[in-house]
Structure 1
Amino acid sequence: MSTPHTIFLQDSTPPTGRFRPYASTKHRVTRGRYITSNDPRGYIPVYEYPLNGQYIMMDIDDGYILWTGIWKALGNAKADIVKMLESQPDLAPQLRRVRGGYLKIQGTWMPYEVALRLARRVAWTIREDLIPLFG
């Protein structure tokens, strides 16, 4: 459900960022744009697709990955992600946290390279489902 400050907009403009999803016969990746006051741009343009009741998202402009979507798609609890990230304090300055607003974009976002390294360590069971993000 949307709040007055956060709504979903269909985005039909061509991709402009350098980050693009890889082709996958198993997943239908769509583009979206979520207006939010949590981002200096005023919105987050994303590639997204559903997985295990969650949305896997990549910021089109800078490649940030919604790690919370991957974490929950693995069947992990929210508290587990906090513990994992707190155990790696060097990650803290690289993370973006989106709280409030549209539920699909809430959570912890991290740079592409960091998300790829973490996915290689903890997301083996859904590796084929992450092909659109990481190839």
Structure 2
Amino acid sequence: MSSALLQDSLPPPPSTLGPRFRPYASPNHQVTKGRYITSNDPRGYIPVYEYPLNGQWIMMDIDDGYILWTGIWKALGNSKADIVKMIDSQPDLAPLIRRVRGGYLKIQGTWMPYEVALRLARRVAWPIRDDLIPLFGQVAHLL
């Protein structure tokens, strides 16, 4: 079974900016670096770029580009129960996501690869598209 979420074609992120996963400049958001200790990750911590949005933390794992989808989902005003339903309705997502439970509250939730988070954002995040520019660059305007 193939998920429609995984079939969209995406342009690759610009490679001229250095490392693949780093925030894009945004005049409206102050992105900072953080490092949160967790036993849920083999590194023992998660290094992130982060910024607040609508009372939630928007985060990107510096090392692998995973996005804290829970932050985006809740910034849209959706409930935690809704994210579980959405993820469960897309069985192809299961092997791609990480769920962080326990530890520091800020990093708890559902993390997914950059490309998957961008595809989902294109489908559901129109109201906050301009606020996602630090994660996805100007392509966020195309959401």
Asked if TM exceeds 0.5, the reply is yes
User: How large is the RMSD of aligned CA atoms in angstroms?
Assistant: 1.0
Asked if structure 2 preserves the Cα contact closer than 8 Å seen for 1:63 and 1:111, the reply is: yes
Asked if structure 2 preserves the Cα contact closer than 8 Å seen for 1:66 and 1:107, the reply is: yes
1:92 & 1:67 partners in 2: Cα distance?
14
Q: Which residue of 1 aligns with 2:62?
A: 60
TM-score, reference length from structure 2: 0.82
Q: Which residue of 1 aligns with 2:102?
A: 100
Distance 1:99 1:17, change over 3 A: farther
Q: Which residue of 2 aligns with 1:119?
A: 121
1:55 & 1:23 partners in 2: Cα distance?
17
Q: Which residue of 1 aligns with 2:88?
A: 86
Q: Which residue of 2 aligns with 1:8?
A: none
Flag structure 2 segments of 5+ consecutive residues without an equivalent.
1-17, 138-143
The runs of at least 4 consecutive aligned structure 1 residues that moved more than 2 Å come to none
Asked if structure 2 preserves the Cα contact closer than 8 Å seen for 1:57 and 1:66, the reply is: yes
1:113 & 1:124 partners in 2: Cα distance?
17
1:18 & 1:133 partners in 2: Cα distance?
11
Same amino acid, percent of matched pairs:
88
TM-score, reference length from structure 1: 0.87
Distance 1:39 1:56, change over 3 A: same
SS at match of 2:118: helix
Matched, 1:24 2:26: yes
Offset of residue 123 of structure 1 = 0.3
Code of the residue aligned with 2:55 in structure 1: it is G
Aligned pairs, number: 120
Q: Which residue of 2 aligns with 1:49?
A: 51
SS at match of 1:94: coil
